[in-house]
Amino acid sequence: MKQIGIGIVGCGGIVLQNHLPGLALCPEARLAALCDTNPIVLQKASQQTGITAVFSRYEGLLACADVDAVIIATPNVSHAPIALAAIAAGKHVLCEKPIAMNHAEALAMLAAAEKANVRHMTAFTYRFVPAMNWMAHLVKSGFIGQPYHFRSCRLQDWGARAVGWRQVAKMAGSGELGDMLSHRIDYAHLLIGPIQRVVADTRRFLDLREGQPSDLEDWVAILAEFSGNRATGVLESSKLATGRGEGAGSQDYCEVDGSEGTLVFQLERPLELQIAKHGENSLRPTPVPAQFLKWPGSPRDPQTGDPLVTFRYDQDVEFIRAIVEQRPCVPSFHDGARAQAVMDAALLSAKEQRWVEIPK
């Protein structure tokens, strides 16, 4: 079978960290072309990968006949135009989160991809953490009964350092909300189901980061109600939790309390859940069973490498397997769009200081 040719648009941090090692696990895929508007980044990526088909504009990459699928890893503002052009050129698309600047853009991407019958995927990377995958299975199988409460807390200390395009509204759309909380909104949808309404607040403490203006929030909190089961959600995320560190070792806490038990996920322990059942009064650390240690179809050896890093590679495996098997990707643009609907509602709620319903 012909290998799937992959084009990467935006060759910065996340491509080097997640996508290149992920693609390296996929014998069915072959890196074919690279694009970045920054010539230094592009040259470095070309040297690192040995790929000589390099472009400073995505239109050039999309015109390559041997590019069958595209990974979009640019700042958020360019996700929708690049994705729509890729879909129009008949390419499958894996797009970084948040997939768009707002819900309307995300819906347009979803509709175009469905119409063109190409695979579409949102890079909600933390679904691939073994403990989160197992947690979703346990909740769906009824292990904790009727879910009452969803709770998520993402605390990092990014201090006052400059964060580039991430601190500029016209490039990022939102600050901590899109950057960090979008993944946790996806946890909520994955574990409990659609969020029906939210009330939210945001705060920017730093107007300048290393002398560069910031016009986006450093902190966000959402109070949510889920549709159907009336479960409650409380979500908080901050870049200014002093002393908490940053990255995968800092606080990423997620808890679901149900009528029959409680499950607690902590990213820093990716191979373990803490579990309590009805009648008990403390949580028990419980290892993730073998069948959840890697994503279905992943050739990865779960015993090899740093478990806080290697789960990320299963995301690209899922994209490639979905193309080969001609089935929907998990998570898809549908998941990206519904997270975006909640993000839009949270920003509106914070602005107008009121509950906001999520469009169905």
Ligand X SMILES: NC(=O)c1ccc[n+]([C@@H]2O[C@H](COP(=O)([O-])OP(=O)(O)OC[C@H]3O[C@@H](n4cnc5c(N)ncnc54)[C@H](O)[C@@H]3O)[C@@H](O)[C@H]2O)c1
Residue of 198, 194, 193 whose CA lies nearest to 224: 198
CB of 126 to ligand X, least distance (A): 7
CB of 82 to ligand X, least distance (A): 7
CB of 58 to ligand X, least distance (A): 5
CB of 287 to ligand X, least distance (A): 24
CB of 71 to ligand X, least distance (A): 10
74 versus 262: smaller Cβ distance to ligand X:
74
Q: Angle at Cα 130 formed by Cα 49 and Cα 219, nearest 5°?
A: 85
Residues that bind ligand X (CB under 6 A): 9-14, 35-38, 41, 58, 73-76, 78, 96-97, 123, 125, 164, 179
178 versus 261: smaller Cβ distance to ligand X:
178
13 versus 359: smaller Cβ distance to ligand X:
13
Contacts (Cβ under 8 Å, ≥6 apart) of 23? 6, 29, 31, 316, 320
Residue nearest to ligand X (CB): 12
CB of 223 to ligand X, least distance (A): 24
Q: Angle at Cα 202 formed by Cα 221 and Cα 227, nearest 5°?
A: 45
CB of 191 to ligand X, least distance (A): 18
13 versus 285: smaller Cβ distance to ligand X:
13
